[in-house]
Structures are given as structure tokens and as C-alpha cells.
Chains A and B, each alone.
Chain A
Amino acid sequence: MRLSLLLSGLAALVVVLFGLSLLVGPAGFGIGQSLSALLGGEGEAVTLVMREIRLPRSILAVMVGVSLGLSGAALQGFLRNPLAEPGLIGVSSSAALGAVLALQTGFAASFALALPVSALVGASVSVMLLLVLAGPRGGSLTLILAGIAISALAGAFLSLVLNLSPNPFAVSEIVFWMLGSLSDRSFDHVTIALPVMLLGWVLLASLGRGLDALTLGQDAAESMGINLSQLRLRLVAGVAASVGAATAVAGAIGFVGLVVPHILRPFVGARPGALLPASALGGAAMVLAADIAVRLVLPDRDLKLGVLMAIVGAPLFLHLIYKTRRQMI
């Protein structure tokens, strides 16, 4: 099977990048030293760095990548539009808004999952708003316009929180949420985000057949026994849970959900269902690679992951718009 070959190739790539991600960092340990410290060390500095800083960072990169890649592929399949992407259409910034509000009001400290849940609520509101605004046909123009409106609104509220915040640290905090990064994360972030993300992944992974049928349009899919309203509900909940949790631990990272499905679509014969697992693995590989890159390109300037992704992703987005426009004429 070509699909299983592709998936195992991508999985191997993720494993390799995961290993690289463990070995790259400002502390500059040797390979052997790093690995023996990770597996067998006890208490010395190398072990601490490996286990408490690099390992959670690499695990988070995989989790965030899977979430973003999967959400992008699912949203595109449902809206039948290659321009749909959680970051671009305001889902990530709404999740960031939810997270910032939770932090500012102190709600985030009330129980362990309060932060990801707030981000999740922000994300769900924006996905539902988007589906209402973009309409049942999900045309490119309405979708992008709705996305711009939601992004702008979420951005405005983020600025408002910043504006009214009495806390001088709020600025750097909000910059973090808007730019997105995986530096200085710990295992706490992994345990907070993982349950919510897993729920989202399960929901999104179950959409395959319905998304395949939607290739023929809503009417045809519904006549083939697909329950569209239930599908929409699972999509909204799945995207909100994965993107919400990803944003809660890593801030808003855009373009992963756009770039990854776009690159992988030709390899799965354009089937939306087959694109789901491929994009999940591809997303993990991309975020791992980007997170390695931010550590290598400007090691001492703390280049933000979201910034790098946008620099890579935005030109591709322009290219996609150009291609879509040509098809429409």
C-alpha cells in the first residue's frame, strides 16, 4: 500500500527529528553524553537539562505538530477549501485570547486544566462562528473574510487585555501568546495539554470517511448516509480541543495546518481521509524541524517558533491564493 509506505516514512522522519531535537541546544553536550544522561544519569546537570528541558520540549513539539496538522487537514476537508487553516482563520488567536483571559483573571490558577480549557473555549467559539459565517458551501472568499474578521476581533481583545492590564509582565506574556514558542516548557505543560489533545485527535481521526464523501458535496455526502450535523459537531469539538490545547502550551503557531496538508495532498491521491494521519505525522515533523531551526539560526536571540513558521508559511499562502484565483477565472 502506498499510504502505509508514506505513513511509515513520515513516522521515521518524526523519530529522527525527535532525536535531533533532543541533541540540539545552547548547553552544547556531546551526543553520547546527552543520550547516556537521558537514559541513565542521576541528578547531574546534563541529566536535568535532558530530562526537564529538552525532552518535554521535543514531546511538546510532536504534540503541537500533530494537533495543528490534523486540524488543518480536517478543516480543509470539511470546508473543501485548501486555504482553511486554524491559525489563519482565527482559531489560534481566539484560543490565545481564552488563555490570556484565564491568566489575567486568575482563573488559570483555579484548577490544573483551567488554562487549556479556557483556550479550548476560545477556540470553539471561533470555529462555530466561522462555520456560521462561512456558510454551508464554505466558499473561499467568505471563509477568508470570516477568518480575517475573527482574527481581527481576537487580536483586538488581546490588545485590550494588554491595554487594561495593570501588570507590567503582561506585555511579554501576551507577546509570547501571539508569537508562539516551545522554549522553557516543562512536563507540567505536557500533562496539562495531553488529555485535551488526545480527545481532539480521537474526534478528528474519526472524520475520515465523512470527509471523503464530502468530496462530492454536502447533498451527495448526506444521501450516502453521512450525518453532516454530527460530523460538523465532531469537527468543531476536535479542532477546538487540539488547537486550544496546543495554543495553551505553545501560543499561536500559524501555517502548520496550511503548509503540511498542502505538501502531502499529492502523495495521498488528494483523499481527505487519508490526508488526516499523513498530516498529523507531517505536522509533528514540521514543528520539530522548525523548533530545531529556531535554536540553530539565532541561538542566542530566542527566535520565536511562530515567527519562523509565518515566514515560511505566508509566501506559500500567497502562492495558494494565486493558484485558487487562476482556477476560478
Chain B
Amino acid sequence: MSALTVTDLTVHRGECPVVDRVSLSLTPGEVVGLIGPNGAGKTTLLRAILGLQSHIGQSDLAQMPRRERAKTVAWMPQTREIAWPVAVETLVLLGRVPHLAGGARPKPEDHAATAQALDNMGLTGFETRPATELSGGEQARVLIARVLAQDTPLILADEPIAGLDPAHQITTMQVFARLAAQGKTVLAALHDLGLAARHCTRLLLLDKGRLVADGAPKDVLTPEHLHSVFGIAAHLVETDHGLIFQPLELTR
């Protein structure tokens, strides 16, 4: 059974396709990294998969009724918006909105999910602080915690670890891995190819809106792909500590 199926997804901006006939299928237990240079169409692809963007082609998420979709997939947008100085706990509790019917008040299990999410992101002790007064990286962690609190089988995140310190980048990727081990699926747009190589079970490489490679990190981060898509050369080596990737120089 697949967690997400996308068939021939295309998004046009004017005449020009920014996402071009992308088909993919995710299975439960995967941590999938969506990589590609700036402007490759990563954000547009993710938004189209969610049905937030008008598109041609099929995504099974986009066809779901709103409420059901909100219980199936949690989405972390790239723009980290926190409009009001609400307490961290209140903000993370918003992730429970899809689980509250009508005007129902949060139940003990909603508070438990919130506490669990805060704990996962190392935010215990931050509960009552106004979220807008935290640093950028801390705000990002609060927003990831909100996504975790939504407790959905599928998580889509747009550059969730950008701007985090190394310890929290690793923590976040490990949380994703742990969720995947519980049978959930994570699809995250990433720019740090080193972290992507090390922590993802599978990579999708997007270039000019087309999906040019899909597979295990070592099969996607080949010298040919790195040259033709990113214009770089890199050192990629399989070690006892796992896959290690280090960009070296420009090739064009």
C-alpha cells in the first residue's frame, strides 16, 4: 500500500511548465529527500501534491476532502509565519485542529500529542514563551513541532532544517527517521545534500520541473547528476559512519 501516489503532475506558470509531468509513489517507512537547485520547482511540486496549487495530473492527496486530507498529511511551508505572539504550546496545539470536530475543546490526548511533539523538538520548558520572541531557528523547531503534533501518517516539509544549528538539524532528521520506523512517511525538500545523503532513505532529484532521478542517495548523487543539475563536483564515500557527501568545486 502506498502512502502517496502522484501521476503526471504538471504546473504551468504562464506558458512555461514549472513542474513537468512528475510521477512518484511513496511507501510507508520512507524518509524521502526532495533535492534540486534553486528554482527547480520543489516548493511548487509539494504544494501541487497537497492540492494548494492548481495543477494538471493526479495527486491522491489533492483529491481528498479537506478534513480527511488534514488528518492524512501535515504540511510545513517554507515561509515560517507566526503572526501573533502566542505561547509556544498554544501554537503547537494548533496542529490538533484537524482532530477537533466542530468547536470541540482539546482533549487530554491532544495535550499529550502536543507535549510529545515539544519534547521531540527539544522545546520542553519553552511552553509559555511567546513564539515570536524566539530566535529564527527556535521558531523553526516550534513549527516542526506543530507538524509533529498533527500526528499524520504523511509529513510534507519545505526546507524544514534550513537555519537550524547542526545539533538540531541532526535531531530533526532523527525524529523523521524515528517516525518512519513507526510506519509513517516523510517527504522533505532539502538543500543540505550532506544531511540528505546521510539521513534519507531515498532521494528525488528535481531539475527545471522534471524528476531526473529517483532512488537511493548513492544512486542519485552521481558525478553526472551533480554536474548536469547542480554544476558541482563532490566527494561521496561510503564509510562505517554511513554515506558522507562533501561538495568540492564548480564544474561549469
Q: Which residues of A contact B73 (CB under 8 A)?
A: 223
Interface size on A, residues (CB 8 A): 22
* Residues of chain B from 86 to 140 with CB closer than 8 A to chain A in the complex: 86-87, 90-91, 94-95, 97-98, 100, 103, 130
* Residues of chain A from 245 to 290 with CB closer than 8 A to chain B in the complex: 265, 269-272
Distance A214 CA – B81 CA, assembled complex (angstroms): 9
Whether B77 pairs with A220 at a CB distance below 8 angstroms is yes
Interface presence of B206 (CB below 8 A) = no
Q: Which residues of B contact A216 (CB under 8 A)?
A: 81-83, 91, 94, 143, 146
Whether B77 pairs with A217 at a CB distance below 8 angstroms is yes
Considering the complex, give the chain B residue whose CB is closest to the CB of A219.
B77
Whether A212 pairs with B94 at a CB distance below 8 angstroms is yes
Q: Which residues of B contact A209 (CB under 8 A)?
A: 97, 100, 103
Considering the complex, give the chain B residue whose CB is closest to the CB of A213.
B97
Distance A223 CA – B75 CA, assembled complex (angstroms): 6
Residue among A216, A222, A269 having the largest count of chain B Cβ atoms under 10 Å: A216
Q: Which of B27-35, B64-72, B187-195, B211-219 lies at the interface?
A: B64-72
Distance A224 CA – B71 CA, assembled complex (angstroms): 8
Whether A272 pairs with B84 at a CB distance below 8 angstroms is yes
Contact of A222 among B52, B83, B103 (CB under 8 A): B52
Contact of B150 among A212, A224, A270 (CB under 8 A): A224
Whether B84 pairs with A224 at a CB distance below 8 angstroms is no
Distance A209 CA – B103 CA, assembled complex (angstroms): 8
Contact with B along A197-238 (1 / 0, CB 8 A): 000000000001100111111011011111100000000000
Q: Given the known A-B contacts A214-B83, A225-B70, A271-B84, are A219 and B94 also in contact in the complex, defined by CB atoms under 8 Å? A: no
Interface presence of B205 (CB below 8 A) = no
Contact of A270 among B74, B81, B86, B103 (CB under 8 A): B86
Interface presence of B168 (CB below 8 A) = no
Q: Which residues of A contact B220 (CB under 8 A)?
A: none
Residue among A208, A223, A225, A272 having the largest count of chain B Cβ atoms under 10 Å: A223
Contact of B84 among A80, A208, A222, A225 (CB under 8 A): A80
Which range holds the interface residue count of chain B? 20 to 34
Interface presence of B76 (CB below 8 A) = yes
Interface presence of B85 (CB below 8 A) = yes
Q: Which residues of A contact B2 (CB under 8 A)?
A: none
Q: Which residues of B contact A222 (CB under 8 A)?
A: 52
Contact of B81 among A220, A223, A224 (CB under 8 A): A220
Distance A220 CA – B150 CA, assembled complex (angstroms): 11
What is the CB-to-nearest-CB distance from A321 to chain B, in angstroms, rounded to a whole number? Answer: 17
Interface presence of B198 (CB below 8 A) = no
Q: Which residues of A contact B47 (CB under 8 A)?
A: 219
Q: Which residues of B contact A225 (CB under 8 A)?
A: 66-67, 69-71, 97-98
Q: Which residues of A contact B98 (CB under 8 A)?
A: 224-225
Q: Which residues of B contact A217 (CB under 8 A)?
A: 77, 79, 81, 83
Task: Give residues in B with beta carbon < 8 Å to A.
Answer: 47, 50, 52, 66-67, 69-71, 73-77, 79, 81-87, 90-91, 94-95, 97-98, 100, 103, 130, 143, 146, 150
11 A-B residue pairings within 8 Å (CB atoms): A209-B100, A209-B103, A213-B94, A215-B81, A216-B83, A216-B143, A217-B77, A217-B79, A223-B50, A224-B70, A270-B86
Enumerate the 6 nearest inter-chain pairs by beta-carbon distance, A residue then B residue, closest first: A225-B70, A217-B81, A80-B83, A223-B75, A270-B84, A219-B77
20 extra interchain contacts, Cβ-Cβ under 8 A, other than A216-B143, A217-B81, A269-B86? A80-B83, A80-B84, A209-B97, A209-B103, A215-B84, A219-B47, A219-B77, A219-B79, A220-B76, A220-B81, A223-B74, A223-B77, A224-B95, A224-B97, A225-B70, A225-B97, A227-B66, A270-B86, A271-B86, A272-B83
